[in-house]
Amino acid sequence: MIKFINLATSLFPLWAIVFSIWAYFDSQTWAALQNFVIPLLSIVMFSMGLTLKTKDFYRILEILQLFY
């Protein structure tokens, strides 16, 4: 199972290209999902935010101090 997950993850750019081309040429199939775009993006962004650590915020503050 872990090998499958690693393979699927490493092929993510390919998945993105394939699904983008599919959506471009067959937009009616994907139009029905337009109401789910914002909630799904919200879940993804929230999940990414949960992975942040305190040291990540300190790094941002250090970078900002270089500019100000």
Q: Mean pLDDT for the chain?
A: 92
Query: Percentage of the chain surpassing pLDDT 90?
Result: 71
pLDDT (0 to 100) of residue 59:
92
Indicate if the pLDDT at residue 67 is higher than 80. Answer: no
pLDDT (0 to 100) of residue 53:
94
Write out the two tokens for 24. Answer: 């471009």
State CA 4 to chain mean position distance.
19
**C-alpha to C-alpha distance for 64 and 60, rounded to whole angstroms:** 6
Over residues 24-56, the pLDDT tens digits come to 999 998 898 899 999 999 999 999 999 999 999
With CA atoms as reference, report the closest residue to 54 among 62, 65, 42, 66: 62
